[in-house]
Structure 1
Amino acid sequence: MDLSNDKDIELYFYENRLKTYAGWPFDEGCACTPENMARAGFIHTPSDNSPDTAMCFFCLKELEGWEPEDDPVKEHKDHSKGCHFISLKKKVEELTVEEFYKLEKERLNFILNKKTDAEIKTFEEKAQEKRAVILNKAMDEE
């Protein structure tokens, strides 16, 4: 991720997160309206199987299976205790440049950790597959 990537920076702002909620299954009379979801830092990331999947643009935590009474802020805090965005005490527009860059540094840490975890998982899966091939060859040679 690059600080010059306007797309990533745009998601810091409520209006841009709200724009992602086309087709969101919950509306008026629910706690998890598009407005409340966007305020909590979520963007709508639906799939064919899960039309109610939402992900925090900051910590990348994905949640699905929303119920009408679910409070997005509470759910976000419960499922991602380390998210610096949901624990902000100020609006993004009120942050100093220094505060914003510190926050962005934390967001990039979340992204790097998620990518690293995925790479490690892929490596471990391939290592297990390779081990199985080697063991099968050793058994065949006996």
Structure 2
Amino acid sequence: MLLKELGSASKLLSDFKDMYEYENRLKTFTNWPFRENCKCTPENMAKAGFVHCPDENEPDVVKCFFCLIELEGWEPNDDPWNEHIKRYNCGFLALTKPFDDLTMEEYYMLEMTRLRTFLVSVNQIILI
């Protein structure tokens, strides 16, 4: 069971590396239940760092590719950025410039923070 959880977590880390790009995050919202006349549109969800990860029981589950926080139970007027930031101090949300403008050193430091977050998450799986 532990090896299965670690394998799953490791795949998530690898898969989410491409999610620095807004367009890649946006593509995950193909079956997102909120589209118009609301704050939690696919565009706003992707801008806030979220990736759509639905399952059979919860069609509105999202996960931040960076801090790995998972949120569900969205309401049309929920603001993705505010919901994200009030629950976790995410390094991606703290960026002061567009991702494409980061220097190689800034990207490296950001990626090390993402890796550290992943390792903490895996450590919690091991302790459970």
What's the TM-score bracket when you normalise by the shorter of the two chains?
A: 0.7 to 0.9
> Are 2:100 and 1:87 equivalent residues in the alignment?
no
Superposed CA RMSD: 1.3
Q: Trace 1:1-142 onto structure 2 (pairs within 5 A).
A: 5=14, 7-81=15-89, 83-121=90-128
Q: In 1, distance between residues paired with 2:93 and 2:84?
A: 7
Q: Which has the higher contact order (CA 8 A, sep 6+)?
A: 2
Which residue in the other structure is 1:138 paired with? none
- What TM-score do the two structures reach when normalised by structure 2? 0.88
The offset of 1:28, in angstroms, is 1.1
One-letter amino acid of the counterpart of residue 16, structure 1: N
The offset of 1:9, in angstroms, is 2.8
Q: In 1, distance between residues paired with 2:27 and 2:109?
A: 26
Which is higher, the Rg of structure 1 or of structure 2?
1
Tell me which stretches of 4 or more aligned residues in structure 1 moved more than 2 Å.
none
One-letter amino acid of the counterpart of residue 29, structure 2: Y
For structure 1, list consecutive stretches of 5 or more residues without a partner in the other structure: 122-142
- What TM-score do the two structures reach when normalised by structure 1? 0.79
Q: Which secondary structure does the structure 1 equivalent of 2:33 belong to?
A: coil
Percent of residue pairs bearing the same amino acid type: 50
For structure 2, list consecutive stretches of 5 or more residues without a partner in the other structure: 1-9
The offset of 1:10, in angstroms, is 1.6
